Structure 1
């Protein structure tokens, strides 16, 4: 369809957790629009059209469905084939448009108006529209509330019985906050629908005991699911002792969750049948989808599109299943024949085989879980969705995720940063750049180095574990101990060699061991061990304690374990232990206390087989505690920027550009773009002759610098492309000729351009990059200038927007940062101007996703100021940000 903006299509989650499909209207929607209108109440019709209108006149109907997708835009929201909401705008000037909505009576209160407004505003901004107006009857309170609650600065006027509403549609801090809050509530509810069913139907179970469906039924039954369990089978009376029904239509009630284990080619039809019969969510165990190749990928796409279009979430396909250990649910809809006990660890896995390993490891270590979800191919329900749910789930205190890919890392970072402030998030992932994908996972890729993602995770407070073993090492601390109060560690045990090893390891992991380990006699008695433990816990210079015990002819291991757990519980200080033969959180190291409310509670000291594991886990828990307690700063609010000018520069440069082909911004436009954000480039003039160079130097004033404009020699002083501290016309003429001759030797330019620029004061040259990464979205990078920085990868990255503290942390975190702070007696540089530039570029690339890459190279930090010497900007005409200013499932 000509000019049809397919990029505006989106699957969305509604306020109650259901899903719907949103897309631009087309002429083929006329009948569905007419049906929606005729089903509306007279009151709803009057509120929308200001007049009684039982049926849409044919002329109006044709006008409503025929739009140009620029000056006249209409978006519809559908469930199945039914339109449940319409939002539209009509351009009334170059910068203004009138907006209107119509929500189906049966679906009001589901947040449809607010989602349509977000998507309309995003489409309008693409067309250069800056402001929405609307005319609303005073009694249409729900529509007025949509505008007011969106987070925009709304002004109202009352004239001739109508309320006139006006507001700018550029995102504000408040509108972004409102959007994130609504997204969180909706996605958390959609996951709750999956994990808290009151009825489950298993579809595709065979009477063969070794079949997948048979195993699922046995596992659900064995876990004593508290709801109704039904089996759908066209012929059997019962399977695995559970009554079977010929079809979903024959069930005695509606199933909240359908567990599907039929051949892949039949799944989409089963999903359609589930939608017809009111199923709220589906768990697809079946394989044979995207992991098998293009045909399977198309099957998967159709299955997910069908499910979302009818309001259902999908777990899978190729899923290992899901578990909810809550007493009022007790659901094991998985292929795991065993389960850990009920506990506080939430687990997410994209791999079925590793899902089994995760559950087995939790069980072996005595760690209880709250919920477990295997996403399989992660075609719909993802780790981002589970994070939304776990953030407020009181049963989950620690989150563990095994990720084979992240479809939307920017959203993951945004959500994880929020979750990490209240609960630890541990991630296992070998590659996060999207270049090493398992079969069935389709994501964008990033050209950035893998360590970039480590920095992004660290920015969000997420702890990265290399292995399942490491994940559970850390989960042991979080599930049984309070967070460490600081880095000061005390070491005590009955082995001097072990104590020394632990001390050395602790210091290498960034912990502080202020005194030598307390080394007791190998055959220490219980009384002495207790006294020394109590003395260690009483010390004011110890925040955490590491205890080791090696069995000998002295005290029994069980006795030491009992007194350790009791002393540790009484002290309230974080404690980890190394007891041979005890790994995990077990009753041998558990004691019971009465809390301040009179409740009997257990306290367990986690034990590790090796001292390296104990120290690593304690160090990462300490790092997390420090991150959580730190002041992460505030996002900068800039009132001296000119976004309209930036948008105009970008639009002009991209006018007529080929899709997918980057466009290099002209140098004068680059200066103007930076200037619109309060960043000045040190004055320079391009010259092609010595005479022009001399004239430029006279305007600027000596001393000046000469720089080759050609990319081959740009910034390359060692190749003769840069000459500094030129103090006189004679010196300039000589150096200008030398630079031009060097350019001619390496290029075919006859009269190469040379920049004549004012000399910056002496300082430390740095490089700042900002732009749109396909996978991560807007990203900042900071480093010192020079080949060594690039060769050693000494670059810090952060996802934009960044806070003031995050911007400063970028500067301080590079390994070469001592050069900015008085290295070897040199004066310290003022990093505040660097921080301000990072903050401003953070806002710029957040607001303008067409900026593919903006490079300031170099920006020279001095004792007082920073000076931008050179910059270039590449733009991308068809930039599409995964996690933008409109809510959608991705």
Structure 2
């Protein structure tokens, strides 16, 4: 499918950015926005319509006067400037409203009450929640509170306080189920609650659970509709709408289908009506195949008629049409797939919906497929059909204005059918939320992706080492690795990996035995395994003896095992079974070549692998059939299916993917360690102070970056600032180490690579050398230089590099690797998305090629690994706490036994607004 000129969906933003939409527990779409003074009347009507019982729960008395006072506070406190008691919007009072189709259904508010004694420098706020009668038990209050928590955190509030009647069990349960730490104190008929706003993993898990329930409920009209209408059905053969309608009819859809065409009475045997309003019943799903200019109007007609989901196959929407389409879907509570897509399908037996314009119906099966490219979708459907895996549901996301890969992962997790997830995503709306969902789903089923958009032609050179190293490919791969997603580079590789993961048990390690009937083919397979990161261990003496006992004369039992061209079906079966059951290897790769002297034909030898009724082992087995004409096949076997590949490289890559998945599953989910000596309020104040003076942002000076690093306990080499020659001499005398040597580094705003500019002097001893070095820097750089940084000469050690880049889509990315002046040339880096877990830190430290140096290679002793872990965790926390941190570059970081020290640092800030990537809200268009 081709792209369009319409704007792309952006990541969800915080409610502070303006109105947003989110899903209730039953899948209903509501609008959440800040309260304004002119909302007074609507708020008053909300309270006046509440039952006496609910009024009493809200105000402790069923008093109209209390309701009037509460409504008046919205008018008074939501106004800019506010009053003394309310302190104005953004300072002392916040009110959030929930609306459905223009009607107010809930309100939550907070008002700052004082300083938080448990968190110095932060404050507490008193909160209240009210939900309209008729909307209880649908998650309105919980959703509003989640958004209020996000706003409060951005405002520096650390805890909510609330009073409730002890009999108000529903409200108390809402607080308890939020996932936040809540302390309750009972005082007679009342309960005083204190809710801590720390973003703990328990809270994020609760958010995910509520989001999954709501998301799945909202997708039911889309993926399990009871009726479908195709709008824009052409009379001429070859039209897209006609093709979709034909597939719905011939695919065995269990519900009712309708056609909309003002110029035809029937289309492909289906009765047609002239417009949406004339449909005999309200369909759950409407497929729009009309010209782009008509899409917003038809979508509005569907919304007013009560349609719950839209599938827009039309392409070419401009920005105005795109916004109108999405606004209509949000206003009328409809989920949207597309536009510019090839449709969707659900092969479940009681659904059988094929609402695509593909040439063939998808084969029923257990693989969930979501793609942005229609061409990739057709290729995957065809490949999965050939493998006899088939699909449970298929969604062509197209331009992905609403429904995304994250939504589909949640659906497959819950549908009771899917056991394999395949994704092709050209873009990510909210990668951090996607990552958390994928981590959870990946533990239940393999999740594979075709990594699209790996290159960045014309990418501009970055300013710092960190930004230069942080390619989009590295960022995407970090996401996939951390989430347990199997990333592949082509459709063929994706299908090859899927075949093995679907058909065979996971290997417990990377040890592979190659068994072949042709020695040369075995060597090729051995090379392929080694190149894929697999190992071919020597077989034990007892196993060698047992293998030779069952093979023909002349066989070799090294690894690879050469069974010779004379091997028979029984001999090959016995050999493979003995090797697989030995415990000495984790997988067996059988490579078969047709030969003129074979004792058994190729088909018979293959049967030795597929027909083994007495086989008792859990070792995965894969075959390479050199003469087969397909890249991969799944051969029916007694115990399931046997994956067979056309070349050793493909089989080795698939096995390597299986090994990586097994390793990921074997490791428990990581945790984010708690850090001591972190002063986040001070750091935020320092950032705000800098941006007040530099509204456009910029690179921090030595004092400012040292303070920021000190707020997070990141160790730095002692230093002093000198603006004159005499100051430099005094600083050098004070800072010189046991060897008496110091370093002078020139500084001016924006200077990043001192070595490139020859802006530093090393190994300076005594006043005379310090003075000479300072004069040299002054002579060469003149008024450009604002001063020098004086430091003691650091001891010898391993020079490393650690940094952060704040990606506008993916969030902060932490990089680590070999440092020094050649860091970009050697490109020995690893990357993970923040916040880092303990596992992520371990992976960062062990992934670069320089890792052996850190563990004592060469007899120099291990560096301070715990200190290195702490540095990376603190750098991650710095980036997560401060979204204004555009990039940070610590290079070099000196690593020695017992010591980790940052010798130099560069930090750039930009005026960015805090984003909450985990807040439950639907996507918006940029």
TM over 0.5: same fold? yes
Q: Distance in 2 between matches of 1:140 and 1:831?
A: 52
Match of 2:486 among 458, 463, 466: 463
Contact 1:179 1:887 in 2 (8 A): no
Matched, 1:117 2:106: no
| 1:458-494 CA-partner distances (Å, limit 9, x unpaired) | 2222222111111111111111111122211122232
Are positions 1:774 and 2:802 aligned together?
no
Give the alignment partner of residue 407 of structure 2, picking from 385, 392, 410.
385
Cα distance, 1:378 vs structure 2: 0.7
Change (3 A) 1:432 1:84: farther
1:63 is matched with 76
**2:549 is matched with which residue?**
none
Aligned to 1:549: 592
The answer to whether the 8 A contact 1:355-1:374 is kept is yes
Give the Å deviation of 1:866: 0.9
> C-alpha distance in 2, partners of 1:221/1:486?
48
Aligned counterpart for 1:566 among listed residues 611, 630, 633 = 611
The Cα of 1:26 is off from its aligned counterpart by: 3.2
2:777 alignment counterpart:
743
Counterpart of 2:347 in structure 1 is: 325
2:35 pairs with 1:25: yes
CA–CA separation in structure 2 for the residues paired with 1:110 and 1:671? 50
1:306-317 matches, cutoff 5 A: 306-317=328-339
1:816-848: CA deviation from partner (whole Å, max 9, x where unpaired): 233323344433322221111111222232222
Residue of structure 2 in register with 1:706 after alignment: 743
1:284-324 per-residue CA deviation (whole Å, 9 max, x = no partner) reads 111221xxxxxx12211221122123222100011111111
Structure 1 residues 584, 19: closer, same or farther in 2, change over 3 A? farther
Matched-pair contact (CA < 8 Å) for 1:34–1:61: no
* Pair 360,886 (structure 1): closer, same or farther in 2 beyond 3 Å: closer
Aligned counterpart, 1:145: 173
- Distance change >3 Å, CA 23–CA 202, structure 1 → 2: same
Q: What residue in structure 2 maps to residue 297 of structure 1?
A: 319
Correspondence for 1:442:
none
Q: How does 1:158-237 map to 2 (within 5 A)?
A: 158=186, 161-234=189-262, 236-237=264-265
| Residue 596 (structure 1) aligns with | none
Counterpart check, 1:78 vs 2:99: yes
Contact 1:199/1:229, CA 8 A, preserved across alignment: yes
Matched, 1:503 2:540: no
Instruction: Measure, in 2, the Cα distance between the counterparts of 1:447 and 1:725.
Output: 30
> Shift in Å at residue 549 of structure 1?
2.5
Distance 1:793 1:45, change over 3 A: same
Counterpart CA distance in 2 for 1:262 and 1:436 is: 37
CA distance in 1, matches of 2:593, 2:817: 48
User: Does 2:891 match 1:864?
Assistant: no
> Which of residues 706, 711, 730 is equivalent to 1:671?
706
Deviations 1:181-214 (A, max 9, x none): 3223322333344212222222222333332222
Structure-2 change in CA distance of 1:623 and 1:321 (3 Å)? same
Aligned residues of 2:828 and 2:848 also touching (Cα < 8 A) = yes
CA contact (8 A) 1:366 1:584 kept: no
Contact 2:53 2:62 in 1 (8 A): no
User: In the TM superposition, what is the alpha-carbon distance from 1:6 to its structure 2 partner?
Assistant: 6.3
Counterpart of 1:832 in structure 2 is: 866
Does the C-alpha gap of structure 1 residues 823 and 25 become closer, same or farther in structure 2, counting only changes over 3 Å?
Answer: same
2:36–2:75 contact (8 Å) kept in structure 1:
no
CA drift at 1:877: 2.2
CA-CA distance at 1:119 after TM superposition: 1.9
2:878 counterpart residue number: 844
Determine helix, strand or coil for the equivalent of 1:282: strand
Shift in Å, 1:496? 2.1
Once residues 63 and 902 of structure 2 are traced to their aligned partners in structure 1, the CA distance between those partners, rounded to angstroms, is 64
Contact 1:20–1:79 under 8 Å retained in 2:
yes
Matched, 1:415 2:461: no
C-alpha change, 1:490 and 1:233, in structure 2 (3 Å) is same
- Retained in 2: the 8 A contact 1:259–1:282? yes
CA distance in 1, matches of 2:755, 2:398: 53
**Is the Cα–Cα contact under 8 Å of residues 508 and 662 in structure 2 kept in the other structure?**
yes
Equivalent position of 2:720 in the other structure: 685
Give the equivalent residue in structure 2 for 1:581. 628
Give, in angstroms, the shift of residue 584 of structure 1.
7.0
Q: 1:52 aligns with which of 45, 49, 63?
A: 63
What is the aligned partner in structure 1 of residue 649 from structure 2? 612
CA contact (8 A) 1:433 1:448 kept: no
Question: C-alpha deviations, 1:64-108, integer Å up to 9, x for none?
Answer: 764653132222222221222222222334723222222222322
Cα displacement (A) at 1:436: 9.6
Alpha-carbon distance in 2 for matches of 1:446, 1:39: 60
Higher mean alpha-carbon deviation, 751-760 vs 773-782, is at 751-760
State the match for 1:813 in structure 2.
Answer: 847
Using the TM superposition, give the Cα deviation of residue 38 of structure 1 relative to its aligned residue in structure 2, in angstroms. Answer: 4.5
Deviation at residue 40 of structure 1 after TM alignment: 3.2
Report the TM-score, using the length of structure 1 for normalisation: 0.89
SS in 2 for 1:205: coil
Change (3 A) 1:205 1:320: same
Distance 1:699 1:414, change over 3 A: same
CA–CA distance in structure 1, aligned partners of residues 814 and 290 of structure 2:
47
Distance 1:356 1:698, change over 3 A: same
Gaps of 5+ in 1: 290-295, 438-444, 594-602
CA distance in 1, matches of 2:260, 2:247: 17
Q: Distance in 1 between matches of 2:767 and 2:899?
A: 30
**For residues 268-299 of structure 1, what are the alpha-carbon distances to aligned partners after superposition, in whole Å with 9 as ceiling and x for unaligned?**
2332333333322111111221xxxxxx1221
Matched residue SS, 2:580: helix
Instruction: Give the 3 Å change call, closer, same or farther, for CA 886–347 of structure 1 in structure 2.
Output: closer
Does the C-alpha gap of structure 1 residues 435 and 171 become closer, same or farther in structure 2, counting only changes over 3 Å? farther
SS of the residue corresponding to residue 302 of structure 2 reads helix
The range that moved more, 475-484 or 48-57, is 48-57
Contact 2:364 2:391 (C-alpha < 8 Å) held by counterparts: yes
Residues 624, 863 of structure 1: CA spacing in aligned structure 2 closer, same or farther, 3 A cutoff? same
Show the 5 A alignment for 1:315-354: 315-354=337-376
Structure 1 residues 116, 796: CA separation in 2 closer, same or farther (over 3 Å shift)?
Answer: same
**Native 8 Å contact 1:565 1:605 kept in 2:** yes
Q: Structure 2: where are the runs of 5+ without partners? A: 1-13, 81-87, 116-122, 460-466, 538-557
Q: CA RMSD in A?
A: 3.0
2:52 equivalent to 1:42: yes
Residue 472 (structure 1) aligned with residue 495 (structure 2): yes
Query: 1: distance between equivalents of 2:773 and 2:420?
Result: 61
Residues matched between the structures, number: 858
1:39: Cα distance to partner? 3.9
User: Structure 2 length as normaliser, TM-score?
Assistant: 0.86
1:365 alignment partner in structure 2: 387
Q: 1:572 to 1:414 in 2, by over 3 A?
A: same
Relative to structure 1, the CA distance from residue 140 to residue 235 in structure 2 (aligned partners, 3 Å threshold; closer, same or farther) is farther
The verdict on how the C-alpha distance between 1:129 and 1:591 changes in structure 2, with shifts beyond 3 A counting, is: closer
Q: Is the contact made by 1:189 and 1:389 (CA closer than 8 Å) also made in structure 2?
A: no
